[in-house]
Amino acid sequence: MEFSAEMIAGFLGGEVVGNPQTTVSTVAKIEEGRPGALSFLANPKYEHYIYQTQSSIVMVAKTFEPTAPVSATLIKVDDPYACFAKLLELYAAHKPQPTGVSSLASIDASSPVGDDTYVGEFAVIGKNVRIGRNVKIYPQVYVGDHVTLGDNVTIFPGAKIFEQCVLKDGVVINAGAVIGADGFGFAPDDQGVYHKIPQLGNVVLEENVDIGANTCVDRATMGSTVIHHGTKLDNLIQIGHNAVVGSNTVAASQFGLAGSSKVGNNCMIGGQVGIAGHLRIGNNVKLASKSGVSNNIADGEVYMGNPAMPGLKYHRSFAVYRNLPELSAKVRQLEKQIEKLNALLAERSE
């Protein structure tokens, strides 16, 4: 499907610089542009690509002023990155969507399928599952008993939704994710043998939560593990039992949140961050990649390092750390000088 520069600018509220009838039918990174492709320029360090790109249309900020000739038609918008994301959504919406219920799916009679719902081959839907409208359940998905799926939920191949979990409107579960597996609960007896604690709770994913591929969100021991609305979790993330993640928080791959910890709203969490159990992370907190968090963090803080510490303190500490070889050599030199001085003092005292 083709879109003209004029159509795109009208959809985004942008301004065309160049030929408004230029058309595109695909998207490409600006450094890999080709005729018929749409690209965007948001980061100034990539500006040099705009003078070389073969893309037919490039979205730029309204403040952008070229310093050399540009062959592409430009569309000036307030935020090129956000606008490009909106166009990708539009492009994806026009792709063919799967429909119908496969005869190879196993659906319990007590679980009526909602209107416009797709169920793929070898999907299994248990007893008393409530399924909303326009739900997409791809092949080899497992949905356990008494699960609730809201409207416009999408569950990609191989994902597992265990019993009693609740997925509200617009939730996306990517391939291989596991929602509602037993939490890691064991209690040792007087012989040091660990016995499993039954996990009787569930998982609640609120509106427009996105769970990445092979991410696991464990069910609560009692009550619910909750991911609040608008939160996006990357691939390969572990959320422990009874944990709570606030609204509109984003977390990158291999993040681990231990049981009963709570993360606030609008937080940004880098890859491989670990948060210990029973902690409270405030709103608008930023955690740099590989941070190891073992204490509560107040609202609006930026932490990094392992153990995690405030950003300014970390940078000061790292400035010392990276100079340790030179500092160590200087200390050894000073020790030798002190030894010589002590020896001279000893000789004079004789």
Per the domain annotation, does 186 fall within a domain? no
Q: Which sign, positive or negative, has the C-alpha torsion 37, 40, 44, 46?
A: negative
| Length of the chain measured in residues | 350
Total H helices, total E strands in the chain: 5, 38
Please write the tens of the pLDDT for every residue from 303-341: 999 999 999 898 888 888 888 889 889 999 999 999 989
Task: Give the pair of three-digit tokens for residue 66.
Answer: 């070229």
Domain-terminating residue out of 93, 114, 145: 93
Tell me whether residue 115 is in a domain.
no
Note whether 107 and 117 are within 8 A (CB). no
Strands (E), 231-327: 232-233, 238-239, 244-245, 250-251, 256-257, 262-263, 268-269, 274-275, 280-281, 286-287, 292-293, 302-304, 309-310
Average pLDDT score over residue span 70-76: 97
Q: Last residue of a domain, which of 64, 93, 122?
A: 93
The confidence score (pLDDT) of residue 320 equals: 87
User: Residues 215, 156: contact at Cβ < 8 Å?
Assistant: no
In a domain, 25, yes or no: yes
48, 241, 278, 315: the active-site residue: 241
Which one, of 167, 245, 181, lies nearest residue 219 by Cα?
181
Instruction: Based on the residue annotation, tell me whether 48 is a catalytic residue of this protein.
Output: no
pLDDT for residue 209 is more than 90: yes
What's the burial of 335, exposed, middle or buried (CB within 10 Å: 0-12/13-18/19+)? Answer: exposed
Cis peptide before 307 (omega within 30 of 0): yes
- Find the mean pLDDT for residues 63-90: 93
Q: What is the mean pLDDT of residues 272-287?
A: 98
pLDDT (average), residues 226-243: 98
Q: How many separate domains does the chain show? A: 2
CB-based contacts of 341, cutoff 8 Å, min separation 6: none
Confirm whether 74 is domain-assigned: yes
Residue 198 lies in a domain: no
Domain boundary among 93, 123, 152: 93
pLDDT for 97: 85
pLDDT at residue 89, rounded to an integer: 83
pTM of the model: 0.84
Q: What is the 3-state secondary structure (H, E, C) of 85-99?
A: HHHHHHHHHCCCCCC
What local confidence, expressed as pLDDT, does residue 323 receive? 87
What would the 3-class secondary structure string for 267-278 be? CEECCCCEECCC
* Phi, psi for 224 (deg, rounded to 5): -140, 140
Domain span at residue 335 reads 316-350
Q: Using one digit for the tens of pLDDT, what is the confidence trace for 128-173?
A: 999 999 999 999 999 999 999 999 999 999 999 999 999 999 999 9
- What backbone phi and psi angles, to 5 degrees, belong to 154? -125, 125
For residue 87, the model assigns a pLDDT of 86
* pLDDT on residue 137: 98
Contact between 136 and 154 (Cβ < 8 Å) = yes
- Cβ–Cβ < 8 Å for 235, 217: no
In a domain, 202, yes or no: no
Instruction: Over range 291-303, report the average pLDDT.
Output: 97
* Average pLDDT of the residues in 241-253: 98
Q: What is the CATH classification number for the domain harbouring 26?
A: 3.40.1390.10
Q: Is the pLDDT of residue 251 over 80?
A: yes
Average pLDDT over the chain, rounded to an integer: 95
Looking at residue 337, what is its pLDDT?
Answer: 92
